[in-house]
């Protein structure tokens, strides 16, 4: 049974099929625009789930990964019984959703069918069982960058790993911006890493279209519905809510905040009251990296060249902040990140460019992909970047047998298949 045909949402009075057909046509037209860049239709390699069945009885719920969507959705690790493939299953009780929440779900589902890029976490496998909506996505075995910071890298990641994660995010943003969308939710908890080392950007519920009547707007004025916890990542122009509006360059500002977050393990502006945060951003305060004193944006002389003399590439020593895996180091002897670290001039310059107060002075996602900081990404393989994940380990199937192998159709709120749930693997809100 299709989600679009579910009787539980008939009162919403929307016309999803017409929208979906228009989205598909636009997507196909765009994908033909640059075949070398956008021919990949979705998740790559073992992360592809398009061939799995849309039958609840074919999935074995294993363990709870987290909750989301105002606590209406339960996300479980599950095994597709016919193939043995592990996936993430988000179950949402449609009977408990308001009409506005139903429309948000509809929009997320349609965008998942519309967007096709190997660095965007979308799902083309959506179905309903009774009044529960099932959305399947590839299992992000390493979870989110935020979880990695809190669990394994409390003092920040190595520059090489940061470059690898941000490069994947920029590829996704480049695609979204060319399609005429602004993400509005770029943060570490929306940056996901699969067990095979593929980087994904999630959080499609915050995506907003800049297209009106077939024309692309220079600015939009909609204030996203989000938790106050997202405020530290939002750009000054988005928070200002004035007649100038905001555009895709607001995502570039958020990327700069994420870079600071990944470097230090701490979110800039997070401990400030919202009013003080806004004033600081409007004044152009720069959330500097920890190895230099704060300096105003635009003072290029404030950039500090790394004393290590290297470009923060793989093979960099622990003394310069790289957390590479050592065959001789036991799992309990994790290398400790020094503080303050010694950051490269290219990283400083990248953060500075992203955090320009004036959006027109920030580079586009396409331009940032050519930044010198990302040269190291092209020089190494995915496996070599995965070696920087030590001591983090990917999620695996639980050893204990699950409580339920084939959930019976029910309109009740989804419940966890296990009593003891692990920490949330990534952000499902």
Question: Helix, strand, coil shares of the chain as percentages rounded to 5?
Answer: 40, 15, 50
289 in any annotated domain? yes
Point out which residues pair with 79 in neighbouring strands: 60, 86
CATH number at residue 109: 3.30.200.20
404 in any annotated domain? no
Measured CA to CA, the distance from residue 142 to residue 394 in angstroms comes to 5
Q: Both 324 and 369 in a single domain?
A: yes
354 in any annotated domain? yes
Q: Both 126 and 190 in a single domain?
A: no
Q: Which residues contact 214 (CB under 8 A, 6 or more apart)?
A: none
Measured CA to CA, the distance from residue 77 to residue 283 in angstroms comes to 45
401 in any annotated domain? no
Q: Both 296 and 184 in a single domain?
A: yes
Q: Both 92 and 228 in a single domain?
A: no
Q: Which domain holds residue 47?
A: 3-138
Q: Both 129 and 182 in a single domain?
A: no
Q: Both 134 and 152 in a single domain?
A: no
Backbone phi and psi for residue 310, each to the nearest 5 degrees, phi listed first? -115, 165
Q: Both 228 and 89 in a single domain?
A: no
- Among 110, 138, 166, identify where a domain stops: 138
Per residue of the chain (429 residues), give pLDDT as tens: 444 444 444 333 333 333 334 444 343 333 333 333 333 345 555 577 878 998 999 999 999 988 877 788 899 999 999 999 999 999 999 999 988 888 888 888 888 888 999 999 988 789 888 888 999 999 999 999 999 999 999 999 999 999 999 999 999 999 999 999 999 999 999 999 999 999 999 988 889 999 998 899 999 998 877 667 788 999 999 988 888 999 999 999 999 999 999 999 998 888 888 888 888 888 877 666 655 443 444 443 333 333 333 333 333 332 333 333 333 334 434 334 334 567 899 999 999 999 999 999 999 999 999 999 999 998 888 889 989 999 999 988 775 454 444 445 555 545 544 434 444 455 655
Measured CA to CA, the distance from residue 177 to residue 209 in angstroms comes to 9
Q: Both 319 and 174 in a single domain?
A: yes
Q: Both 193 and 217 in a single domain?
A: yes
Calculate the CA 318 to chain-centre distance: 27
- Among 116, 138, 160, identify where a domain stops: 138
407 in any annotated domain? no
- Among 108, 138, 168, identify where a domain stops: 138
Q: For residues 38, 42, 45 and 50, what is the CA-based torsion angle, rounded to 10 degrees? A: -150
Measured CA to CA, the distance from residue 91 to residue 413 in angstroms comes to 9
Q: Both 88 and 181 in a single domain?
A: no
Measured CA to CA, the distance from residue 381 to residue 388 in angstroms comes to 12
Domain tally, the chain: 2
Q: Both 187 and 97 in a single domain?
A: no
Beta strands in 278-371 (DSSP E): none
Q: Both 247 and 112 in a single domain?
A: no
Measured CA to CA, the distance from residue 152 to residue 155 in angstroms comes to 9
CATH number at residue 279: 1.10.510.10
Nearest to 247 by CA among 360, 350, 159, 336: 360
pTM for this predicted structure: 0.76
């Amino acid at each position: 049974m299709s989600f679009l045909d579910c009787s539980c949402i008939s009162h919403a009075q929307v016309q999803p099929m017409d929208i979906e057909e228009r989205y598909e046509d636009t997507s196909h037209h765009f994908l033909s625009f640059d075949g070398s860049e956008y021919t990949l239709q979705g998740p790559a390699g073992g992360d592809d789930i398009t061939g799995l069945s849309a039958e609840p009885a074919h999935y074995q719920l294993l363990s709870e990964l987290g909750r989301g969507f105002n606590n209406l959705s339960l996300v479980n690790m599950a095994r597709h019984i016919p193939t043995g493939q592990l996936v993430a299953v988000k179950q949402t009780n449609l009977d408990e959703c308001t009409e506005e929440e139903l429309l948000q779900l509809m929009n997320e589902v349609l965008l998942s069918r519309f967007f096709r890029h190997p660095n965007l976490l979308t799902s083309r496998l959506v179905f309903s069982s009774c009044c529960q909506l099932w959305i399947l996505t590839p299992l992000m075995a390493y979870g989110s960058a935020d979880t990695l910071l809190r669990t394994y890298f409390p003092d920040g990641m190595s520059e090489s790993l940061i470059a690898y994660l941000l490069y994947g995010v920029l590829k996704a943003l480049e695609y979204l911006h060319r399609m005429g969308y602004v993400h509005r939710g770029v943060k570490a908890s929306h940056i996901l890493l699969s067990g095979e080392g593929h980087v994904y950007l999630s959080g499609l519920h915050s995506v907003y279209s800049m297209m009106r009547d077939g024309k692309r707007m220079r600015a939009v004025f909609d204030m996203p519905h989000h938790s106050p916890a997202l405020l530290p990542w939002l750009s000054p122009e988005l928070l200002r809510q004035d007649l100038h509006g905001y555009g895709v360059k607001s995502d570039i500002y958020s990327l700069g905040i994420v870079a600071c977050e990944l470097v230090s393990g701490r979110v800039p502006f997070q401990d400030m009251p919202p009013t003080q945060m806004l004033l600081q951003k409007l004044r152009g305060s720069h959330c500097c990296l920890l190895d230099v004193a704060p300096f105003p944006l635009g003072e290029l002389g404030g950039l500090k060249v790394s004393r290590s003399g290297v470009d923060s590439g793989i093979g960099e020593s622990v003394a310069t902040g790289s957390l590479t895996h050592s065959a001789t180091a036991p799992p309990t002897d994790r290398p400790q990140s020094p503080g303050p670290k010694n950051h490269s001039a290219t990283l400083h310059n990248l953060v500075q460019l992203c955090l320009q107060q004036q959006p027109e002075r920030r580079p586009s996602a396409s331009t940032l992909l050519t930044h010198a900081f990302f040269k190291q990404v092209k020089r190494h393989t995915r496996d070599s970047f995965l070696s920087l994940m030590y001591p983090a380990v990917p999620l695996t199937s639980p050893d204990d047998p699950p409580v339920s192998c084939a959930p019976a159709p029910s309109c009740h709120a989804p419940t966890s298949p296990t009593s003891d749930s692990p920490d949330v693997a990534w952000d499902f809100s």
